[in-house]
């Protein structure tokens, strides 16, 4: 019998508690994982601050964390380093059958609703949702493969082709990964904006041709006509960012909404979007194929994940990790349940 494992559970908004619990039960088709690294996401911040995200509410203590790298602890693949696809769709509903497993209404998703996530030393997860990670990608970087997959999916929804101009509004980790995915898709003309100076600098480092500091979420007047984009990505989710994305989009352009609004509502000036004839597309998570694409892009060095990681915490300092996430002083916050690697 395995000894108790350390777990970080969210009991109420702002209340993360560390405790020892029995190891997880491994179900049919699952394997036991030793979690090596967990990236904290903006959606985790919604859970931490609000005890909810969208329609989902915290009705029991929940282990957060869906950006997970791990090592398989049992079975034929024991010792294999993997990136965890946190989505476990049913595979049988009409939506899944139509090829949209990422939109499955009854899927389990790690760190969401009643399904515990990765902020623990051990977890059980379906083996079919585990993707082998090459040695060229470190454990910390492997935990960023899931958000990179989301960024790749967002760029696909943007229907980009080389020669287009793209705009990224909101340059936190997901916005920076969208910039990287755009560059990998052959888009060089990228403009970016954020309300925080260090994120503007990070956007330039990630490959934005131009990046500027937004004034409380609004675009500088001088840039509105010169920087109209064929496709604009809102990666912040707040009302100001959505409206900035709509304002910077060119007539007949496309706006991809990637950010998650804190109050579960997105509002914008309808006349601006209507008169431009914009197409609005909403991005939810990623496809399983996107995770494989993320591994390929990071594995051969076409996208740099290491520079995004600015804060590292052991599992027993999970509360401090969430405080750092909320403060937004850095970029990516990573928790290491298995200790430093």
Q: How confident is the model at residue 43, as a pLDDT?
A: 86
Is the per-residue pLDDT at 330 higher than 70? yes
Bridge-based pairing of strands 87-88 and 15-21 is: unpaired
Between CA 53 and CA 75 the distance in angstroms is 35
Residue 217, pLDDT above cutoff 50: no
Mean pLDDT of all residues belonging to the chain? 90
What integer pLDDT is reported at residue 29 of this predicted model? Answer: 93
Torsion sign (Cα): 109, 113, 117, 119: positive
Strand partners for 35: 70
* Residue whose tokens read 């007949």: 252
**Cα–Cα distance for residue pair 341/88, rounded to 1 Å:** 28
Query: If we measure between CA atoms, which residue out of 145, 187, 178 comes closest to residue 292?
Result: 145
Identify the pLDDT of residue 221: 44
* pLDDT higher than 90, residue 258: yes
State both tokens at 186.
Answer: 């052959």
With cut-offs at 50, 70 and 90, classify the pLDDT of residue 46: confident
Residue 183 has a pLDDT of 95
- Rounded to whole angstroms, how far apart are CA atoms 198 and 218? 17
Judge contact between 208 and 192, C-beta under 8 A.
Answer: yes
**Element (H or E) spanning 166, and its range?**
strand 165-169
């Amino acid at each position: 019998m395995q000894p108790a494992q350390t777990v970080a559970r969210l009991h109420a908004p702002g209340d993360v508690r560390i405790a020892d619990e029995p190891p997880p039960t491994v179900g049919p088709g699952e394997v036991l994982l030793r979690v090596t690294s967990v990236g904290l996401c903006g959606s985790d911040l919604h859970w931490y601050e609000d005890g909810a995200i969208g329609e989902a509410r915290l009705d029991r203590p929940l282990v957060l964390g869906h950006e997970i790298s791990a090592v398989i602890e049992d079975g034929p693949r024991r010792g294999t380093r993997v990136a965890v696809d946190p989505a476990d769709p049913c595979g049988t509903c009409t939506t899944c059958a139509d090829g949209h497993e990422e939109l499955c209404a009854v899927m389990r998703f790690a760190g969401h609703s009643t399904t515990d996530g990765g902020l623990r030393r051990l977890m059980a997860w379906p083996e079919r949702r585990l993707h082998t990670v090459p040695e060229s990608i470190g454990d910390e970087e492997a935990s960023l493969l899931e958000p990179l997959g989301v960024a790749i999916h967002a760029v696909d929804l943007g229907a980009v082709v080389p020669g287009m101009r793209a705009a990224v509004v909101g340059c936190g980790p997901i916005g920076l990964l969208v910039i990287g995915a755009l560059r990998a898709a052959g888009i060089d003309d990228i403009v970016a904006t954020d309300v925080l100076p260090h994120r503007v600098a990070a956007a330039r480092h990630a490959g934005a041709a131009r990046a500027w500091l937004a004034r409380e979420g609004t675009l500088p007047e001088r840039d509105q006509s010169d920087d109209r984009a064929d496709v604009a990505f809102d990666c912040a989710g707040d009302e100001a960012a959505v409206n900035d994305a709509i304002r910077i989009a060119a007539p007949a352009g496309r706006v991809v909404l990637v950010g998650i609004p804190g109050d579960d509502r997105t509002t914008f000036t309808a006349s601006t979007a209507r008169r431009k004839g914009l197409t609005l597309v909403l991005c939810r998570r990623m496809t399983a194929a996107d995770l494989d694409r993320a591994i390929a892009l990071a594995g051969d060095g076409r996208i740099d994940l290491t520079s995004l990681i600015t804060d590292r915490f052991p599992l027993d300092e999970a509360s401090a990790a969430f405080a750092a996430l909320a403060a937004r002083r850095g970029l990516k916050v990573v928790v290491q349940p298995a200790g430093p690697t």
